[in-house]
């Protein structure tokens, strides 16, 4: 009987230990296609492109570009927060909360960039990506496929997350690795 219980215990431990990146990311964001609003899809495009520009600055280690891009993106977020969108109250609240969360993370990007703290910049960029992906998930974004990347990182135990409109790209947080990596998932498929 003891050996039978040990076998069951081993299976349980193995089942719990095999956590995939996809199920881990589902804890961070959950795509909600029912919430889709084409007006929001259009309004969120500057956030997506601004984030891609931030990744370019990180990849090039260009602190002036990161600062300028962060400021522009924060101003866009402020403008978007002032828009009245034709949505239900819950979705409108998610929109405002998401914009505020992204803005707060961008403040962290600017702070860590100004102190030239690579660890804090990586953490802030990771959290900015997570907040943007959360917002895109909540509004049921469908205008483009959003490819999610995750790569090992010395500062983040679960690896650093970022996203792109491309299926493959070079890790912007590791300039030594010039090889393109494959996305770990597509936002619209994470349910």
Tell me the pLDDT tens digit for each residue of 68-95: 999 999 999 999 988 777 777 888 888 8
Is the pLDDT confidence value at 22 over 70?
no
Query: In this predicted structure, what is the pLDDT of residue 127?
Result: 96
Tell me how far apart the alpha carbons of residues 177 and 97 are, in angstroms, rounded to a whole number: 36
The third-level CATH classification (topology) of the domain covering 21-189 is 1.20.120
Is the pLDDT confidence value at 31 over 50?
yes
How crowded is residue 164: how many other Cβ atoms within 10 Å of its Cβ?
18
Query: In this predicted structure, what is the pLDDT of residue 56?
Result: 96
Give the residue, 4 or 190, on which the prediction is more confident: 190
State the chain's mean pLDDT as an integer.
83
pLDDT confidence tier of residue 23, bands split at 50, 70 and 90: very low
Residues 169-184, mean pLDDT to the nearest whole number = 90
pLDDT-above-70 percentage for the chain: 83
Query: In this predicted structure, what is the pLDDT of residue 35?
Result: 73
Query: In this predicted structure, what is the pLDDT of residue 189?
Result: 78
Domain ranges of the chain: 21-189
Per DSSP, 170 falls in state E
Tell me how far apart the alpha carbons of residues 109 and 121 are, in angstroms, rounded to a whole number: 6
37 by DSSP, 3-state: which? Answer: coil
pLDDT-above-90 percentage for the chain: 55
Please tell me the chain's helix, strand, coil percentages from 3-state DSSP, rounded to the nearest 5.
Answer: 60, 10, 30
Residues 129-140, mean pLDDT to the nearest whole number = 92
Prediction pTM value: 0.83
Residue of 162, 158, 99, 97 whose CA lies nearest to 125 = 162
């Amino acid at each position: 009987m003891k050996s039978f219980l040990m076998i069951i215990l081993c299976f349980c431990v193995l089942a719990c230990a095999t956590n995939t990146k996809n199920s881990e990311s589902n804890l961070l964001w959950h795509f909600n296609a029912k919430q889709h609003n084409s007006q929001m899809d259009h309004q969120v495009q500057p956030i997506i492109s601004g984030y891609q520009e931030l990744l370019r600055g990180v990849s090039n280690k260009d602190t002036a570009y990161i600062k300028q891009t962060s400021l522009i993106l924060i101003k866009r977020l402020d403008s978007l927060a002032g828009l009245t969108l034709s949505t239900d109250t819950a979705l409108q609240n998610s929109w405002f909360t998401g914009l505020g969360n992204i803005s707060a993370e961008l403040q962290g990007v600017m702070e860590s960039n100004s102190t030239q703290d690579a660890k804090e910049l990586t953490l802030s960029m990771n959290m900015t990506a997570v907040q943007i992906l959360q917002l895109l998930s909540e509004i049921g974004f469908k205008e483009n496929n959003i490819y999610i990347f995750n790569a090992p990182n010395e500062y983040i135990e679960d690896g650093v997350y970022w996203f792109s409109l491309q299926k493959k790209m070079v890790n912007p947080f590791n300039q030594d690795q010039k090889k393109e990596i494959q996305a770990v998932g597509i936002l619209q498929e994470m349910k």
